Each structure stands twice: as structure tokens, then as C-alpha cells.
Amino acid sequence: MAYSSTNDFISGEEKITISVISNDDYSCPDESNLVWCDEFNYNGLPDDNKWNIETGTGEWGWGNNELQFYTNRAENLEVSNGTLKIIAKKEEYGGMQYTSGRIMTHNKLDFKYGRVEIRAKLPSTQGSWPALWLLGSSYQTNTWPLCGEIDLMEQFADKSYVQTTLHWQNTNGSRAQYGQQKTISDPASFHIYTLDWQPGIIRSFLDGNQIFVMSTNNSMPFDENFFIILNFALGGNGGAGPVAANFAQDVLEIDYVRVYAN
Ligand SMILES: [Ca+2]
């Protein structure tokens, strides 16, 4: 309402519609047997309905003397243009010389058996250690490797191959692991990494070609719940080797993670 200088009242009403335009899309493709996915068709940090962000240096550099500090910042974890970018950077942070990102589905997606499909593009800088993997959901009480570990895809110093490895504990208490490798000519392009996890047998594939096969039995932990971890480590004792002196930044880019029931 306005009051005029000539003492006449003027009043009026107008409706204004304000719409917020969001392109965020959290839906999954309409595929049979698909039970969980993240297509990363939204913007910001990874969807906290699906992922927990792990931060810090872990114990003993996540068990491997790794060189990065994991943060929950957009500088290290960025969902945009349909993909998740896990970005490792050279920067002093939390007493470390590098930062990066690590996310997991524990307590949000814990499952047994099925097919996990991840479309990803790997970093190529010397010293980078990208990993797409699963850890036994009992890891807080069943100390590793008792809880079991399924490394769907890891890449170490030699960027000409990718590797799948299972870790577990033998009944005599000794640590056991078994890994197999597959040559990859262009790891920094998108490829599909698939885990086929069934009772008694675990396989993995690179673009549909088998990387790994192993029989499992009930003395092993592979008939229990596991969860998914995506991370980009640097250096450490795991086989990635020293980080390139001129390392500035590199990216593990993930187009989607899909989990199908068997
Ligand atoms: Ca996508």
C-alpha cells in the first residue's frame, strides 16, 4: 500500500511466482535387478543418503603409509556434469603434502552377493593409487583381514594393467590374498569394471573381459555383508611407488556405480 501526498490511498496486489530450477536427478536407470545406484547426476558433494565421506589419514596412513589427507571439501570430491571427480592435489593440509577423497557406503549400503558395475576413468600420474573396492561390513570387530576385502579394481605403479585382489584370513590365522591382472591400454579413458559375486565364486571383468576368477568357501568371509569404497590414494607401501616430483593434481572420475541382484 502506498500513501500519496494528496491523501489518496493507492493499493494493489500482484502475484509473483518464483521457481527454483534444479537439474539434480537422484534416480536410477529403469533396469531389472538394479537394487542400488549412484549416477552422479546432481551437483555438489556425493549424496549423503548413499555415501559417507571418510576424512584424515587413518591409522598408519590407512594401513599403508599413504601420503594423502582425505577431506570432505569440494576441492577433493566434486559431483558435476554427471560424474564424481575424486581429485588428488598437492597442497599442505593436516600435516600432509597431498589431499584427496575417500567415500564409502557402510551403514547405507551393506549387501551380500550381486553384480557391481562401475564406469570409471583412472588417474595416470606416477604415484597415484586409485581403488574401487569392497570391505567386509564387520571390519570394526572382525579386524582386517578377518572381515575380508574385495578389490574390484586397483592400479599401482605400472599403469599398463589393472588388478583384482581378494584378502582374507586363513583358519590358521595367517593372512591370505589372491590377485589377478589384466592389461589395459588406455586406463585414463572410461572403462566398465564389473564384480560378479556369487556364493562359491567371485569374478571380475574389464569391459566384459574377465580379469579375475576365484572359488570361495565357507572358511572365508565372502558370504557375509560388504560395502563399497571409492578412493584415490597416493604413494605408500601398497605398490603405487613414489609420487612424481611435479605432481600437481589428478582425478579419478566415476560416471556411475550400479549394484544388481544376482
Ligand atoms: Ca553419470
CA distance 26 to 86: 19
Which residue from 239, 228, 229 is spatially nearest to 65, judged by alpha carbons? 239
Give the pLDDT score at 6. 56
Q: Look-up: residue for cell 556434469?
A: 81
Domains of the chain, residue spans:
31-260
Q: Which of 27, 71, 17 is nearest to 47 (CA)?
A: 27
Q: What spacing in Å lies between the alpha carbon of 256 and ligand 1's midpoint?
A: 5
How remote is the CA of residue 10 from the centroid of ligand 1, in Å?
Answer: 54
Taking the centre of ligand 1 as the mean of its atom positions, its distance from the CA of residue 96, in whole angstroms, is 31
- What is the structure's pLDDT at 251? 98
In tens digits, the chain (262 residues) has pLDDT values of 455 555 566 667 788 877 777 789 999 999 999 999 999 999 999 999 999 999 999 998 999 999 999 999 999 999 999 999 999 999 999 999 999 999 999 999 999 999 999 999 999 999 999 999 999 999 999 999 999 999 999 999 999 999 999 999 999 999 999 999 999 999 999 999 999 999 999 999 999 999 999 999 999 999 999 999 999 999 999 999 999 999 999 999 999 999 999 8
Which protein residues have their CB within 5 A of the ion that is ligand 1?
A: 39-40, 82, 255-256
From ligand 1's centre to the CA of 38, what distance in Å?
8
Check 66, 117, 154, 253 and give the catalytic one. 154
Which residue out of 66, 78, 149, 253 is catalytically annotated? 149
In the reported structure, the alpha carbon of residue 131 is separated from the centroid of ligand 1 by a whole-number distance in angstroms of 18
Bridge partners of residue 2, in order along the sequence: 10
Residue carrying C-alpha cell 581429485: 87
The confidence score (pLDDT) of residue 4 equals 54
Our answer to whether residue 154 is catalytic in this structure is: yes
Distance 2 CA to ligand 1 centre (A): 53
What pTM does this model have?
0.92
**Which pLDDT does position 23 carry in this prediction?**
84
What's the CATH code, domain 31-260?
2.60.120.200
